[in-house]
């Protein structure tokens, strides 16, 4: 576990859109980890995401209209002050304080400039997806300066790929850490099968479009 005094250097940013069912558990895990700054960015949510996050103890930034994950995440980074930023998805299941320590610890100690979390021993389908798409992981910690130059204009879903490209430009290899027992609610769980598949297809299309633009 990192020295609690060093955890004051960490800001936790949790972008959320209609995640009232799970956001409070993620916030409580962050508070259990130590004296962190914890901010939930409610990205145009139409449910009780903001209220649940506040009830769990987070500061909340409410955005209108919805900007997409990239815009919400960067708005949250701009609204926080820690020299280290820890990013978490709001739909996590099974996240605990020890997982935040695993993400933040190597950056606090100087062992790594950035970390990426991978699910293990959680639900089989989310664990497999986490490993197959590890460059898209939303569970990360890094030095703030690696995020401040990013521009979300025209992007909704490609923020993790933008971060990966930023690390590559700086010749930084992130340290992968295992988040044992963690998973997340899928789009199909949240929206129903048909709507979830449509949302997933839209996400994949935007990720592919981002990659094509980068190759030109």
Domains of the chain (ranges plus CATH)?
Answer: 4-185 (3.90.550.10)
**pLDDT tens per residue across span 141-150:** 999 999 988 9
pLDDT tens digit sequence for 157-203: 788 888 999 999 999 999 999 999 998 877 676 766 777 667 767 77
Distance of alpha carbon 57 from alpha carbon 67, whole angstroms: 24
**5 or 91: whose pLDDT is higher?**
91
Virtual torsion, Cα 84, 40, 185, 179, nearest 10 deg: 20
The pTM for the full model equals: 0.87
According to the model, what pLDDT value does residue 131 have?
52
What is the per-residue DSSP string for 125-138?
HHHHHHHHTGGG-S
114-120 and 175-180 beta bridge pairing: parallel
């Amino acid at each position: 576990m990192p020295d609690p005094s060093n955890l004051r250097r960490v800001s936790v940013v949790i972008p959320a859109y209609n995640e009232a069912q799970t956001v409070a558990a993620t916030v409580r895990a962050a508070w259990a980890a130590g004296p962190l700054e914890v901010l939930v960015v409610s990205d145009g949510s139409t449910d009780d995401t903001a209220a649940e996050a506040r009830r769990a103890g987070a500061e909340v930034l409410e955005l209108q209209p919805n900007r997409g994950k990239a815009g919400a995440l960067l708005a949250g980074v701009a609204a926080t002050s820690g020299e280290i930023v820890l990013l978490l998805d709001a739909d996590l299941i099974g996240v605990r304080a020890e997982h935040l320590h695993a993400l933040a610890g190597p950056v606090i100690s100087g062992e790594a400039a950035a970390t990426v979390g991978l699910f293990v021993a959680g639900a089989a389908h989310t664990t497999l997806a986490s490993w197959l798409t590890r460059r898209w992981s939303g569970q990360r910690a890094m030095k703030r300066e690696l995020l401040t130059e990013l521009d979300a204009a025209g992007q909704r879903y490609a923020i993790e790929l933008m971060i990966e490209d930023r690390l590559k430009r700086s010749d930084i290899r992130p340290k992968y850490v295992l988040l044992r027992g963690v998973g997340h609610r899928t789009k199909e769980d949240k929206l129903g099968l048909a709507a979830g598949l449509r949302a997933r297809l839209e996400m994949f299309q935007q990720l592919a479009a981002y990659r094509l633009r980068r190759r030109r």
